[in-house]
Amino acid sequence: MDALPLALAGHDVTVVDPSAEWLEEALRRAATAGTNVTTIRGGLDDLPAGEWDLVMCHFVLRYRSGGDGDVAALASHVRPGGRLSIMDVNPDGRVLRELLNGGPAAALAELQAERAKVETFQTDARKVSVDAIVSEATEAGMTPVGVYGNRIANDLLVDNTAKHDPSFFEDLLALELELCDREPFNRVGFAWQLILQR
């Protein structure tokens, strides 16, 4: 979802992922769209040598142990003037979602839990706060440009019926765009995105 639009815009794109199936899907989609991407099977420990204009690490850090230099490693691959985009699930947003969907006891359990359940992969993951990543990235020589929230209003609407109305959905999308970079709203969404510059 990230690689293809960048490749179609004329950028050279390299995708690093441990899943052979997902890499094959990336190659298939790129070929269908008439563009190319380079794929490398691996993870953060397998990043190729070099520097890029943009390095993206989305929804990965929560599966890592933390304190292992991942943010510094990512930063080392950003050329001077380039940017680093890190995105992950927001622990604070998870508490609000649990409150709306399961009530105060569920929200309290989520708040107190050391790790977060990941339904997609039937596992759990560490909770990663945007402030901790800002600190690590700053130590690695990066400058924060912005913090953005994802699915802020959307996840507060527990009845999805109205979202099927195109006019309602258009208004919801407009609201999301207005809230995504405004404090305190950018801190309560499903996910956070941090943009940094070298």
Number of H helices, E strands in the chain: 7, 8
Quick one: which of 180, 159, 47, 151 has its CA closest to 93? 151
pTM above 0.85, yes or no: yes
Give the CA angle between residues 16, 19, 22 to the nearest 5°: 85
Indicate the SS3 state at residue 44: helix
What confidence score (pLDDT) does residue 35 get?
A: 97
Q: What is the pLDDT of residues 97-136, one digit of tens each?
A: 999 999 999 999 999 999 999 988 889 999 999 999 999 9
pLDDT one-digit tens code per residue, 37-56: 999 999 999 999 999 999 99
How large is the average pLDDT for residues 140-159? 95
Q: What's the rounded Cα separation, in Å, for the pair 18 and 25?
A: 13
For the chain, what is the mean pLDDT? Answer: 95
CB of 7 within 8 A of CB of 20? no
pLDDT of amino acid 100: 94
Residue 14 has pLDDT above 90, yes or no: yes
Domains and CATH numbers, the chain: 43-197 (3.40.50.150)
Separation of alpha carbons 175 and 155, rounded Å:
12
pLDDT score recorded for residue 68: 83
